[in-house]
Structure 1
């Protein structure tokens, strides 16, 4: 039965969490994809658009549009590298960090709902198992 297949269940969870995130992040005038991009920049402001696209599971063209939207909201700023003028650096602004902090709280609450009823060891095992599954598929 298809509803017992692991891939099907993972896709169902992904769809459900995406729907919840879209609904909650909308209150911050933020899309789930924009949240992913801001989160990627929070981890490293040295990423190229292509690296950000891979980290956010979107195409480089989509990332370019996301970056433009984030720039219009003044959540990020882009400037030339001080030593290498052809390299464009993208950084979070203070308002970008503020909206990201609010978004993290919303997303953490959604994740808590998702794993409600799981003990701490079960949560850790789930995270480890999902990481293993991901690594198995990307190698």
Structure 2
């Protein structure tokens, strides 16, 4: 294997640093969501439904980067806690459109504020322009790799 084919030193690998950033963000989000009795996946589900009411299990799973089976467990748990509603039967097709209850909307507001505080802390060393550039650069990088969907 040539030097060009190998990853090289991990500290110099953009992918490795991205994974470190993702792990740090996930850990910090978990810490602020735990007192609200939410996991990161549950928060992602609430956030998605807050922005797009009526999403199906499959759409939510894709948006939260989890499998459909995992999302089904997330949805069941949130429904059991009264944070969302799903009809017993699909109005058309097989998808059960899901919506937040008023309790779910209240929980989402608290969780969103907590997560935003983590983002502010993480990106505080960067100017607004640097944050914009980082986001735009990451969007370009994501677009360069074919989408892989969890099953």
Establish whether residue 75 from structure 1 lines up as the match of residue 77 from structure 2.
no
RMSD: 1.5
* Alignment match of 1:14 (pick from 22, 29, 34): 22
Runs of 4 or more above 4 Å deviation: none
Partner of 1:37: 45
* Greater relative contact order (CA < 8 Å, ≥ 6 in sequence): 2
| Aligned-partner SS, 2:54 | coil
Indicate the structure with greater strand content.
Answer: 1
* TM-superposition CA deviations, 1:8-42 (whole Å, max 9, x none): 00000000110111111001011111001111111
In the alignment, the residues of structure 2 paired with residue 11 and residue 86 of structure 1 have an alpha-carbon distance, to the nearest angstrom, of 36
Partner of 1:61: 69
Partner of 1:115: 123
| Aligned-partner SS, 2:76 | helix
* Alignment match of 1:93 (pick from 93, 101, 104): 101
In the alignment, structure 2 segments of 5+ residues that lack a partner are 1-8
* TM-superposition CA deviations, 1:62-101 (whole Å, max 9, x none): 00000000001111001145x5385422100111011110
Partner of 1:4: 12
In the alignment, the residues of structure 2 paired with residue 60 and residue 47 of structure 1 have an alpha-carbon distance, to the nearest angstrom, of 13
The answer as to whether partners of 2:57 and 2:95 remain within 8 angstroms in 1 is no
Specify the structure having the higher radius of gyration (Cα): 2
1:8–1:30 CA distance, 2 compared to 1 (3 A): same
